[in-house]
Amino acid sequence: MRSRKRSIWTNLFFSIMLSSLSGVVFIFLLNVLFSAVQFFVLNDIQFAWIFSWVSLVTGTFLSSYICGKYRRRNGLIEGAVCGAVIFAVVCTVSLAVVHHFPMLSKIFPALVSGASGGVFGVNSKRPRNFTDI
């Protein structure tokens, strides 16, 4: 009988770190896109706070959706954990680069969008060719 390989998604720590890393990369790419829009199209930083909130919410939703889709359990809790990990990364980068702690009001949308993304991921269709032991 042929043995199956264990999936990385069976380990809770690695799955949350991998999905949070993908969310952080997505947030970075959205911030680059939005800053290009501000520089070339708007010529003003009036909407910078809206763009930062949108990138944070979509990045945490995407990362927890990925985690929920492949883990297939505890979507609400694991999605909120992904949101908290991403907020911790954002705080660390903000302290290192700008020497300023970001607003604590950003943690609530990160947790809510992370939890909702986890729930949507768990309740979505199972991925093809997914092996899980």
Q: What average pLDDT does this structure show over 23-32?
A: 95
Most confident of 4-8, 11-15, 81-85, 96-100: 81-85
Residue 52's contacts (CB-CB under 8 Å, 6 or more residues apart) are 31, 34
For the chain, domain boundaries: 8-122
Mean pLDDT, residues 110-124:
94
Mean pLDDT in residue range 74-84? 94
Instruction: Residue 103: name the closest of 56, 58, 36 by CA.
Output: 56
Report in angstroms the alpha-carbon separations of 50 from 44, 55, 99, 126: 13, 9, 21, 34
Q: Is 6 exposed, middle or buried (0-12, 13-18, 19+ CB in 10 A)?
A: exposed
What is the mean pLDDT of the segment spanning 17-42?
93
Does the pLDDT of residue 99 top 90, yes or no?
A: no
Model pTM score: 0.87
Give the pair of three-digit tokens for residue 47.
């909407």
